[in-house]
Structure 1
Amino acid sequence: MLHKTRGIVLSYFRYRETSIIVRIYTEEFGLQSYLVNGVRSAKSKTNRIAFFQPLTLLDMVVYYKPGKDLHRLSEVKVNFPFQHIPFDIAKSSMALFVSEMLTKTLKEEASNQALFYFLMDSVLYLEEAEADYENFHLAFLLKLAFFLGFGPSNAREFEGQLQEQKYPFLPDDAAEKALNHFLRQPLATPVKISRLTRAELLDALVAFYQIHIDGLGEIKSLSVLREVLS
């Protein structure tokens, strides 16, 4: 049966010679995988592979059958064409990192509109922000943790969980203030921290996710993000 839904692209991998399997977090069905045929063919009349770059916002008509692991797209178009994320190295690095974290943490194949709206609003903020977005990935991960069921209530709780797992995280006043700020304020609210503090918080946040998500494994985009933001 055909259904209309919006979606946020998380990642894709190549399938056979000309196709891909793309993972999309949808408004109506949660996390779903779609087979897209011919998208990598030299004979393709449009550059449809661009539709499936990290965090692209889509309007889709999809075939959906409960219980199936792999679905197909009937129609797809970009809901909000990006003008900045693909061309700004800091934003594109953040998008790649966020999409990898989402790919490895989102598992639910059911509608969760509150989570979908949070993700969509976060992507739109990253696309449209002209300044003060250098901490986007930090605030995003802390807020995402609440949707995943392990968000800390304050900086001390975050610190305590890491120390219980023998992770050497001893935040100074600036780091603790920043953590509480990210937890309590809207995503777009700026906070000034040093590059060193930003790097330490990023590593601590990835470790925090590794505590709570079994098999999270290596985050391949992390080294690129570190280098870009250093």
Structure 2
Amino acid sequence: MLVTTNAIVLSKIKYRDHDLIVKCYTQKEGIVSYLLRGVLKGAKGSKTAYYQLLSQVQLITDHKSSRGLQYIKEVKINYLYSSLHTNVLKSAIVMFLAEVLSMSLQEEEQNDTLFNYIEATLQWLDTHDQYANFHLLFLLNLSKHLGFYPDTSQIDSPYFNLEDGAFVFRNSSRYHVSEENLSLLKQLLGTNFDALESVKINAKQRHAFLSFILLYFELHLGSFKKPKSLQIFNDVFN
């Protein structure tokens, strides 16, 4: 069955001498892996540039649900980034978020709201110059789409329980945050991307909050592990 869908590239690995296996988050089919035969030797109609991490493409695919690896018949750029793959700092964000998304997104079904969120926020990052805290808000908002966004009904509480995903008045878990991380969490919960510039924190605070939110993902997603690209990411931003 021929399927036309927008897609976001999450990962790619070399297979044999000239092939690639590319994992994408697609608008119509959720997570799908594609086998690209001969793409590394310039097979007709194939360009590796289409499959850079987090590239936004439109695919026409020969989709068969019984097949583990699908095939791409046609591909074209759906949104051409101006800086995401050329700016060193943004490229580090791309590498990091692609790995996080690859571990976090497991569904094999359509979710327009989640797809549109990822698509729109990547375009925001591509076109803005003040983005030091982008990844923090991106991950926090991603938790909403994955089902464990913080419960803000008691947001004035002095603790946040990571296991329950809720603000609490009494610390009853070893997985909790308070003080600086708590203050930043409350600030980001009331912030949109256009207001990120108003969030003033230093590299040490940014690093600490990222560690907290990655632990939050680990506690709520059984398949999630600390990203391998985290060290490189932290080195770039420190």
Instruction: Normalising by structure 1, report the TM-score.
Output: 0.90
TM superposition shift of 1:187: 2.6
Q: How does 1:80-91 map to 2 (within 5 A)?
A: 80-91=79-90
Question: Is the Cα contact below 8 Å between 2:21 and 2:34 reproduced in 1?
Answer: yes
Question: Is the Cα contact below 8 Å between 1:20 and 1:39 reproduced in 2?
Answer: yes
Q: What amino acid is aligned across from residue 100 of structure 2 in structure 1?
A: M
TM superposition shift of 1:51: 1.1
Distance 1:158 1:66, change over 3 A: farther
Distance 1:35 1:134, change over 3 A: same
TM superposition shift of 1:218: 3.4
Counterpart of 1:6 in structure 2 is: 6
Q: Considering only aligned residues, what root-mean-square deviation do their CA atoms show, in Å?
A: 2.1
Counterpart of 1:33 in structure 2 is: 33
Distance 1:157 1:114, change over 3 A: farther
Distance 1:157 1:15, change over 3 A: farther
TM superposition shift of 1:160: 1.5
Q: Does 1 or 2 have the higher relative contact order (CA < 8 Å, sep 6+)?
A: 1
Counterpart of 2:16 in structure 1 is: 16
- Which sections of structure 2, spanning at least 5 residues, go unmatched? 164-170
Q: What amino acid is aligned across from residue 185 of structure 1 in structure 2?
A: T
Q: How does 1:122-141 map to 2 (within 5 A)?
A: 122-131=121-130, 133-141=131-139
TM superposition shift of 1:3: 1.6
Question: Is the Cα contact below 8 Å between 2:159 and 2:176 reproduced in 1?
Answer: no
Question: Is the Cα contact below 8 Å between 2:45 and 2:74 reproduced in 1?
Answer: no
Question: Is the Cα contact below 8 Å between 1:153 and 1:183 reproduced in 2?
Answer: no
Of 177, 185, 198 in structure 1, the residue corresponding to residue 183 of structure 2 is 177
Question: What's the secondary structure of 1:203's corresponding residue?
Answer: helix
TM superposition shift of 1:169: 4.1
Give distance in 2, aligned partners of 1:26 and 1:3.
Answer: 11
Question: What's the secondary structure of 2:143's corresponding residue?
Answer: helix
Give distance in 1, aligned partners of 2:52 and 2:179.
Answer: 35
Q: How does 1:58-207 map to 2 (within 5 A)?
A: 58-131=57-130, 133-154=131-152, 159-161=160-162, 166-167=174-175, 169-172=177-180, 175-190=181-196, 191-207=199-215
Distance 1:165 1:9, change over 3 A: farther
TM superposition shift of 1:55: 0.6
Question: What's the secondary structure of 1:107's corresponding residue?
Answer: coil
Q: What amino acid is aligned across from residue 54 of structure 2 in structure 1?
A: L
Distance 1:170 1:176, change over 3 A: closer
Question: What's the secondary structure of 2:179's corresponding residue?
Answer: coil
- Identity percentage of aligned residues: 30
TM superposition shift of 1:171: 3.1
Q: What amino acid is aligned across from residue 160 of structure 2 in structure 1?
A: E
- Which sections of structure 1, spanning at least 5 residues, go unmatched? none
Q: What amino acid is aligned across from residue 132 of structure 2 in structure 1?
A: E
Instruction: Normalising by structure 2, report the TM-score.
Output: 0.87
Q: Deviations over 1:118-145 (max 9, x none)?
A: 01001101111122x1101100111101
**Worse-matched range after superposition: 15-24 or 66-75:** 66-75
Question: Is the Cα contact below 8 Å between 2:61 and 2:72 reproduced in 1?
Answer: yes
TM superposition shift of 1:49: 1.4
Q: What amino acid is aligned across from residue 36 of structure 2 in structure 1?
A: V
Distance 1:27 1:194, change over 3 A: same
Distance 1:197 1:203, change over 3 A: same
TM superposition shift of 1:61: 0.7
Question: What's the secondary structure of 1:189's corresponding residue?
Answer: helix
Distance 1:161 1:70, change over 3 A: same
Q: Deviations over 1:30-85 (max 9, x none)?
A: 111111111112x5477711211111000111111234321110100111222211
